[in-house]
Amino acid sequence: MERRDFIKISALSGVMATLEGCRSAEKQLIRFIPEEELIPGIATIKPGVCTVCSAGCGLLVRVMQGEAEVVRHGQQGLIKMGLAKKLEGNPQHPVNQGKLCARGQASLQMLYHPDRITHPIKRTGPRGSGEFQAISWDDALKEVSAHLGTLQASGSANSLGFLSRPLSGQQGELMTKFLKAYGAPPPVWYQPFDEAVLRQANLFSFGHAALPTFDLHLADYVICFGADFLGTWNSPVAQSISYGEMRQGRPGRRAKLVQVETRMSQTGANADEWIACRPGMEGVLALGIAHVILAEKLAPQAPGSRPGSLIDGWQAGLPEYAPEAVEKQTGVSVAVIKRLAHELAQSGLAVAMIGGPPLAHTNGLFNALAVNALESLVDKSSILSFTPQTGDAAPVQATLAALHTLSAQPPQMLLLYEANPVFSAPPATRVREALAKIPYIVSFGSFIDETSVQADLILPDHAALESWIDSVAESGSSRAVASLAPPAVLPLHDTRPMPDVLLGLGRQLGGEVAKALPWATYDAMLRAAFVPLRTRPGSIDVKTDDDFWDAAQTQGGWWSSPSTSPPLAAVKRAPLSAASPQFAGAAADFPFYFLPYVSQSFADGSLAHLPWLQELPDVLTSAMWSSWVEINPNTGDRLGIKQGDLVEIASQQGSVRAAAVLSPGIAPDMVAMPVGQGHENFTRFASGRGANPLSILAPLTEQETGSLAWAATRVKLVRAGGPEQAKLVLFAGGMSAFPHEQERR
Amino acid sequence: MQPTAEQIEQDLLRPLFHSSGKYWVAVAIAASLLLAGVAAFGYQLYAGIGVWGLNSPVFWAFDITNFVFWIGISHAGTLISAILRLTNATWRRPVTRCAEAITVFSVLIGAIIPLCHIGRPWLAYWMIPYPSERHIWPNFRSPLAWDFFAISTYLTGSTTFLYLPTIPDFAAVRDVSTGLRKKIYRVLALGWQGTPRQWQRLEVAMHIMAVVIVPVAVSVHTIVSWDFAMTLVPMWHSSIFGPYFVAGAIFSGIAALILAMALLRKFLHLEQYLRPIHFENLGKLLLTMSLLWFYFTFAERLTAWYGNSPPEMAVFWESIRKHFAPLFWTMVVCNFIIPVPILAIKRLRTITGTAIASATVVVGMWLERFLIVVPALEHKFLPYSWGTYRPTWVEDTLMASSFGMMALLYLLFSKFVPMISIWEMKVGLQSHGGVPMVAPAEGHVVLEGPQ
Amino acid sequence: MAHKWGMVVDLDRCTGCEACVVACHAENNIPTAGEDQAARGRAKHWIRVERYWEGDFPNPRVRFQPVLCQQCDEAPCEPVCPTYASYHTPEGLNSQVYNRCIGTRFCANACPYNVRFFNFYNPAWDKPLQLQLNPDVSVRSVGVMEKCTFCVQRIKAAEIQAEAEKRELKDGEFTTACAQSCPSKALIFGDLNDSASEVARLASSNRGTKLLGELGTKPNVTYLERGTWEDATHG
């Protein structure tokens, strides 16, 4: 170095050092060299995949340069990096076609959440105390490796468990392969509102163990039994898109929506006709309608192997389901049953749908098969179809049984990934006690929640937007859809992607596991899975695998060319007869049906940590940051409960307290509560807030599938205090702290 | 036994030179209230105006209520003083300065409140029309800009109207003072020697001010009422607001004046000067205003009710029978049901009686302002976004401190300026018949003839 | 011809999903009030979905109504602002100039739609949530009024881009955050002066009404009425 240059440099650094010293201590953070090239002020749009629900919508992520405080090599500093600013739907994506729901929009806050786990941590205090301390990745991985190795060596490989939220795509594949090669049982895919009943029903009725797709934009008449398809059920964005078209997208043609529910949902609010049906009797109602259609020959009957054959008595015209008998059981009048039958049969293209609470009864499968039968009777043009799959369908799994197994035979080591059964499983499953019996628990999730706080070691995953993501759409499109996105932004914290960690552990273990997972990185595994799609007619038409892989990353995935839907064929099995829904709790002691429902803001509770969603006013009650119990106003009068009062609802399993909201959309003998609040431990925004309705659910199951019958609990209701104690926060009509009588307008 | 000219001077100058312990206690209390307000305001600047109870959609509440209240109080002073001067009502003489002082101080307080209630008070000066670096003038279409001009005009005018007649009294104080006090009052007296030419100029100036201040006062409160009436808010958008507010202002102002006079009479021992006849006459005026207030209120509510427009009826019922009903009916009791019998029955129209009636009117008129502002904002056109309001301790403190400030200014005023106009009382001695007056001392020219 | 920005809200398509509400928060740096402030009535939802109940069980009905700044031609909020912070742009927007606002809050009182929101405190974000903030949108300080701007930052960006490329703006080339996210396409944004645009076509629909149109505010948001409703007749 020339002396001149040396003087220049030292002078410059001297000046800089002095200037730095003049600034506040905070600004004396080191500046790291940027790890990517970005032009300030210019946005780059990158593809993404939404992971918040099973729909798997395609995203566009708006990335702009900004400055973030990060820790690199143990040192705090500032770095200019690409920051995700906004999520939009990917217009090219067949499922969501450029649109995105509220929860998808809010998912952006997961990336920059203040309570994200930013580096590996090891438990120091007792289990569940939340006392952790930092541990380096090397040490953490050594420890896990050692445990895995020991377990395998001691012949207890089958005592490794993996409890994860359902993952479609290669992440799930990776876990499955890992466990299989290791010698462990397959992963337990846990979610509180699993769709095992519907998948099973669709397998029986139509030959596809999958969630259905609905081309509502072709319909003239939709009768929906319980599914909140415009809200949270199945593929809400895709369904909303086609709903919009069904209303006003075809000049001169507007479809009618009839919603059959026990409690008015967001979807029900949009119905032209809303029909209150007794809980668990939706199948009977559907068959009552079918009876009229068959009896009056309003629609052509098709032979043999139609879904109707799964219902006992179908061939004979459903004699047990005459309108008078159905009226007694369902509460829906004969006149309405007949009218619906006529409208359905004679309204051009019709479809019958079922989802949500009707399936969450002990007779849920029967209800589903009944509606499927009605559907095949009236749906002349396959408005209901199934999304072609790129691979084999996953087996239907009822997770309650798996949790019982976990309780009964706790594994020696448990890997956890973003499943929270301590919060959402019914108390009778005793998950917390089961976890206490497991010697070693490792969690890969990004947040401390009721379940991950029980872990001994946490190896935090990247956020979704920092990861390679792929997902296969189970429903919501007539094309096969395999979504794919490389990371949209560089990692903010000292986290590592879970798939890569598993691959690394596999390499460490060697043997069968390493052989089963030969890829160095997860994206290599993804590439291997995607590349075979090149030869199928689809959205990417290139000659080489490399080009295909590049194009798939740029477009956000691959989807097949439009083709005929897979055919629907019912399986042959013994017909099912109606079973009455069973409820936990005698009506005399527990006079109300209890409906915990999937929340528009928090889904199953896994999104309660996002402030945008806490502040989002529930569209029917306008409540924010709150839990509430919906009660019919007459019930409120009878029990002396006013709007905003604190009430206690108690089942045989336990009790919860929340604010009362008087709602005309619920029957007098029913109370409903949104799921999602009541977290003990789930970041600053959700902890200690509200009440968890899932914590009082009875462990009743659907009798055929063993799926949790979450609508089968009965409760009693009593006033427990005034508005000052309930602290209901409403956006509409005044401050919660000083409520006064509100006009219902 | 009528007081002599010397006695008048002695009595009316005494408070300037001697103060009781009670006086200083009162000053201390008023000053601490004011300081509490300053502290609360400081806290508001530091933490943000969120420390108030305002919210969406109630963006004005205590702040504007107090603003209108104080501007309203200001009306009696100048209006009574001006009108009574113009109509040559000689009984006014002991009353005018008390009244004019109330006006100036309450306008001052009323002018300060908007400066404190805006979200960014440090930019309040943008209301001043000066060629700004931002290349825009204030929006002259805004009623708030009209407020700015009206209130600053009124403040200037009423200060002038207060000051002019005090000049001869400042001269009187100057003449009996020594040292620093003499220097100060010499400045304040503006070289007054009592020459005929000076008297003539004073009279002309006062006459002009009396004539001018009346329309200014009327326009000020009309413009303040247009802060509400110029919007479409249900129950605000009413053409009656202009006259309604002016009448209400005069009503509350007279009440405040009576209260002030009753207190002055007691604590400054002005029993010989502020006599039952003054309270009687002002009491009769108060009665008239109470009836007028009732008429306006009734007319406004009746037309709203008869029209039955849903947005208006929502606000209407809130006051009449729902959430604000207790406050509304308290207001009616305070403004009408209690005062009218007291003021109409001669036996009850004593000093104590009129003071009680005035006290209830002051409370009632504050409630009236509150009930105009808040129920309407709570219930505008879209029911989904209706709201509620509760004040916080910051707003309570600021309001209390406005009363503290008023009391403090008034107390200090009484220490530095004779509360009753000495020269006018002396002039009154000259008259025959009517209300007995006090003769001017030697050397003062009599300006007014027999009544 | 100059642009005139407008929006159509199709009440028959709106499902009440509130994707628009969250999209707007994300795009426009709207601070989250938190439970205490929300309880005191200070939550800021530039677009909200109003819900009105009619009837009782078993025949309850709900109407959803997304309400945002109507960008009125005769905006009652404009004449009352003493500092011209609320003013009408040549392209038909009611613009809120944050720098001019001294916080008299007169505009919010004058607005019949209750679509104006006030910053009662300085906004704060728990780190690192502030990394998500949109650099194209000002963060408003305490004492300043804010409201829906029709995503003016997107309008400006599109206009600048079109001018740089020496061409006209195309309908649908860009849209507001709320309209972009709305799955059922209930919100349509565009240039009312472009007779070929979708918003102009829909705004002239015979299902079209104006919210509180009788007040004479001349809103540039047209609401398309919901389809017919039939009662479920229980015997």
Domains of chain C (ranges, CATH numbers): 5-224 (3.30.70.20)
| Closest in A617, A666, A737 to C57, CB measured | A666
C120 in contact with B, Cβ within 8 Å = yes
Residue B387 backbone class (left: φ over 0; alpha: ψ -120 to 50; beta: rest): beta
What is the helix (H) or strand (E) element at residue A656, kind and residue range?
Answer: strand A655-662
The least confident of A30-39, A180-189, A262-271, A601-610 is A30-39
How large a percentage of chain B has pLDDT more than 90? 73
Number of domains in chain B: 1
Between CA A261 and CA A233 the distance in angstroms is 14
For residue B133, which amino acid is it?
E
C183/A99 touch (CB, cutoff 8 Å), yes or no? yes
A620 in contact with C, Cβ within 8 Å = yes
Judging contacts by C-beta atoms under 8 Å, the chain A residues touching residue C24 are none
pTM summary value: 0.93
Q: What is the mean pLDDT of chain A?
A: 91
Q: Which two tokens stand for residue A38?
A: 């970005």
For residue B206, is it within any domain?
yes
Best probe of the B interface among A618, A624, A729, A740, by most B CBs < 10 A, is A740
CATH number of the domain enclosing B88: 1.20.1630.10
Residue in the block written with tokens 């019998």: B341
| Closest in B383, B385, B388 to A743, CB measured | B383
Q: Per-residue confidence at A303, pLDDT binned at 50, 70, 90?
A: low
Classify B386 as helix, strand or coil.
coil
| Closest in B119, B231, B388 to C109, CB measured | B231
User: Is the CB of residue A311 less than 8 Å from the CB of residue A318?
Assistant: yes
Q: How far is A724 from chain B (nearest CA, A)?
A: 14
Return the partners of chain A (3 or more C-beta pairs < 8 Å).
B, C
Q: How far is C145 from chain B (nearest CA, A)?
A: 9
Expressed as residue numbers, the domain containing B349 is: 5-46+57-117+144-430
B392 in contact with A, Cβ within 8 Å = no
Classify residue C12 by burial, with Cβ atoms within 10 Å: 0-12, 13-18, 19+.
middle
pLDDT at B441: 40
Res. A738: pLDDT tops 70: no
- Does residue A307 have a cis bond before it (omega within 30 degrees)? no
C228 in contact with A, Cβ within 8 Å = yes
pLDDT at A27: 57
Nearest Cα to Cα of residue B413 among B76, B155, B27, B50:
B27
pLDDT at B451: 40
Q: Per-residue confidence at B10, pLDDT binned at 50, 70, 90?
A: confident
> What distance separates the 2 farthest-apart alpha carbons in chain C?
67
Pairing relationship of beta strands C221-224 and C5-10 according to DSSP bridges: parallel
C101 in contact with B, Cβ within 8 Å = yes
Between CA A647 and CA A722 the distance in angstroms is 9
Q: What is the mean pLDDT of residues B392-409?
A: 97
Alpha-helical segments (H) within A678-731: 683-686, 723-726
pLDDT at B18: 83
User: Is the CB of residue A298 less than 8 Å from the CB of residue A342?
Assistant: yes
Res. A16: pLDDT tops 80: no
The least confident of A26-35, A160-169, A216-225, A323-332 is A26-35
Res. B132: pLDDT tops 80: yes
For residue B290, which amino acid is it?
S
C51/A622 touch (CB, cutoff 8 Å), yes or no? yes
Best probe of the A interface among B386, B389, B392, by most A CBs < 10 A, is B386
| Residues 370-409 of chain B whose Cβ lies under 8 A from any Cβ of chain C | 377, 380-385, 387-388
Pairing relationship of beta strands A121-123 and A132-134 according to DSSP bridges: antiparallel
Q: Which residue of A has its CA nearest to B317?
A: A743
Q: Compute the CA torsion angle C130, C135, C137, C138 (nearest 10 deg).
A: 70
Would you give the distance in Å from CA B389 to the centre of its chain? 27
Res. A509: pLDDT tops 70: yes
User: Is the CB of residue C69 less than 8 Å from the CB of residue C79?
Assistant: no
Q: What is the mean pLDDT of residues A192-213?
A: 93
A472 in contact with C, Cβ within 8 Å = no
The least confident of A576-580, A600-604, B23-27, C114-118 is A576-580
Nearest Cα to Cα of residue B253 among B78, B64, B62, B61:
B78
User: Is the CB of residue B294 less than 8 Å from the CB of residue B266?
Assistant: no
Q: What are phi and psi of A492, to 5 degrees?
A: -85, -40
Nearest Cα to Cα of residue C234 among A228, A271, A338, A222:
A338
User: How many alpha carbons lie under 13 Å from residue B164 in its C-beta half-sphere?
Assistant: 22
Between CA C160 and CA C154 the distance in angstroms is 10
- CATH, range A592-726: 2.40.40.20
pLDDT at A613: 98
User: Is the CB of residue A375 less than 8 Å from the CB of residue A310?
Assistant: no
C232 in contact with A, Cβ within 8 Å = yes
Classify A235 as helix, strand or coil.
coil
Between CA B333 and CA B51 the distance in angstroms is 33
Q: Which residue of C has its CA nearest to B113?
A: C104
Strands (E), chain C: 5-10, 48-54, 61-67, 86-88, 94-96, 117-118, 145-146, 187-191, 208-209, 221-224
| Residues 139-178 of chain C whose Cβ lies under 8 A from any Cβ of chain B | 141-145
A617 in contact with C, Cβ within 8 Å = yes
Q: Which residue of B has its CA nearest to A619?
A: B384
Between CA A547 and CA A534 the distance in angstroms is 10
Strands (E), A90-197: 121-123, 132-134, 160-164, 188-189
Res. B284: pLDDT tops 70: yes
C206 in contact with A, Cβ within 8 Å = no
Please tell me which residue, B432 or A627, carries the higher pLDDT value.
Answer: A627
pLDDT in tens, A333-357: 999 999 999 999 988 899 999 999 9
A600 in contact with C, Cβ within 8 Å = yes
Q: How far is A737 from chain B (nearest CA, A)?
A: 9
C135/A270 touch (CB, cutoff 8 Å), yes or no? no
Judging contacts by C-beta atoms under 8 Å, the chain C residues touching residue B143 are 80, 106
| Closest in A622, A738, A745 to B390, CB measured | A738
C114/B231 touch (CB, cutoff 8 Å), yes or no? no
Q: Per-residue confidence at A1, pLDDT binned at 50, 70, 90?
A: very low
pLDDT in tens, B299-332: 999 999 999 999 999 999 999 999 999 999 999 9
Between CA A592 and CA A312 the distance in angstroms is 31
Best probe of the A interface among C18, C47, C126, C161, by most A CBs < 10 A, is C18
Return the partners of chain B (3 or more C-beta pairs < 8 Å).
A, C
For residue B131, is it within any domain?
no
Best probe of the A interface among C131, C175, C224, by most A CBs < 10 A, is C131
Q: Which residues pair with A274 in a beta bridge?
A: A259
For residue B421, is it within any domain?
yes
Helices (H) and strands (E) in chain C, counts: 6, 10
Kindly state which CATH superfamily the domain A196-385 is placed in.
Answer: Dimethylsulfoxide Reductase, domain 2 (3.40.228.10)
User: Is the CB of residue A561 less than 8 Å from the CB of residue A539?
Assistant: yes
Q: How far is A456 from chain C (nearest CA, A)?
A: 27
Judging contacts by C-beta atoms under 8 Å, the chain A residues touching residue C202 are none
| Residues 299-318 of chain B whose Cβ lies under 8 A from any Cβ of chain A | 314
What is the helix (H) or strand (E) element at residue B167, kind and residue range?
Answer: helix B143-175
Residue in the block written with tokens 């650099």: C135
Q: Which residue of C has its CA nearest to A66?
A: C131
A377 in contact with C, Cβ within 8 Å = no
Classify residue A79 by burial, with Cβ atoms within 10 Å: 0-12, 13-18, 19+.
buried
Classify A282 as helix, strand or coil.
helix
Q: What is the mean pLDDT of residues B231-249?
A: 95
Judging contacts by C-beta atoms under 8 Å, the chain C residues touching residue A240 are 15, 17, 183-184
Please tell me which residue, B436 or A581, carries the higher pLDDT value.
Answer: A581
Q: What is the mean pLDDT of residues B328-356?
A: 95
